[in-house]
Amino acid sequence: MSLRKRLPLAHLPTPLQRPRRLVVATGIDLWVKRDDMTGGAEAGNKIRKLEFLLGEALSLECDTVITCGGLQSNHARATALAAASLGLRAVLFLRTNDPSLDPSRAPLEGNVLIDRLAGAEIRLITPEQYRDRDRILDEAAEELRSEGQKPYVIPEGGSNGLGALGYVEAMGEVRRQLDLGLGGGKPFDAVVVACGSGGTAAGAALGAAFHGVASEVVAVAVCDDAPTFQARIEGIVREARTLDPRLPEPARVTVDDAHKGPAYAVSTPEQRRLIASVAGLSGMVLDPVYTGKAFSALMDLAGAGGPLAGKRILFVHTGGLPGLLAQGATFQDALGLD
């Protein structure tokens, strides 16, 4: 596909690893694509999408990027850092339950701290307002245009057809690693990835089919429900295929919504114990918002009698470390520190 507008922001290729002690302990034929290593503080899956999105922003000579997410949004943090590196202003609309909507009260921890360090402007909105986020982002863009600026709007999670091309490319990277004899040297049965806005799953499904990486993608919902994400992923797939008509029908996408926990960014005690166990067995750190829930689903789906039992699985580690560090107090029981 054409890489005309793609910026070299990520540290690539990321490793394809087999966590030996974790494989022995779980009995799962598991490989991990370490996209938590796509960079430094900006690392995670979002930077692959931003290579295309910010590439387009620069090609349009924009000077400001506007995006949105939860208060501890990994996407917003990656956007703020990437924008700073390119000399762009970043305006972040972050969802909060604090009724004051006072940005100065947003706790300086985790992703918010990094947003501030990157010089991003934070605007807080309520969950109710967030449901109308597309309109809010468009109105902010109009406001900035009236002030003489040239804004570029990036949707939640960078999840549109253009952003999804980042994960089409990621699956191409996996294919090249397999061709070198890495990762067992042959295609996987399924790719498992956390799903919060649908773009990574859509790109992975297209890329898995295009590059012969896997026949199925399991998107583990961290919020909402399976029908919502199925429709969202299908829409992003259609948009991506319009941008690159060479892309085939995607690999089969299965959305799992049984492991999303009590709410977005809220994990269960069992998921937190699993995060601690995985770190102790492999040195791989998951987070309670995305990857911890996705790995919890993987354990159930690939366990005895599950639909992925006995199958060869690629788990995409999408990052999220700063969000984990903002939830340290919730891990007291999981670490036996009560």
Strands (E), the chain: 16-17, 29-34, 64-70, 89-95, 121-125, 151-153, 190-195, 216-221, 252-256, 312-317
197 tagged catalytic? no
Q: Strand pairing partners for 316?
A: 33
Catalytic-role residue among 2, 59, 73, 159: 73
The strand pair at 151-153 and 64-70 is best described as parallel
260 and 288 Cβ atoms separated by less than 8 Å: no
3-state helix, strand, coil in the chain (%, to 5): 45, 15, 35
50 and 138 Cβ atoms separated by less than 8 Å: no
The residues, ordered by sequence, that sit 6+ positions from 191 with a Cβ below 8 Å of its Cβ are 171, 204, 208, 213, 214, 216, 217, 218, 251, 313, 314, 315, 316
Query: How far is it, in rounded angstroms, from Cα 236 to Cα 216?
Result: 17
- The H or E element that residue 56 is part of is helix 46-59
The catalytic residues are: 73
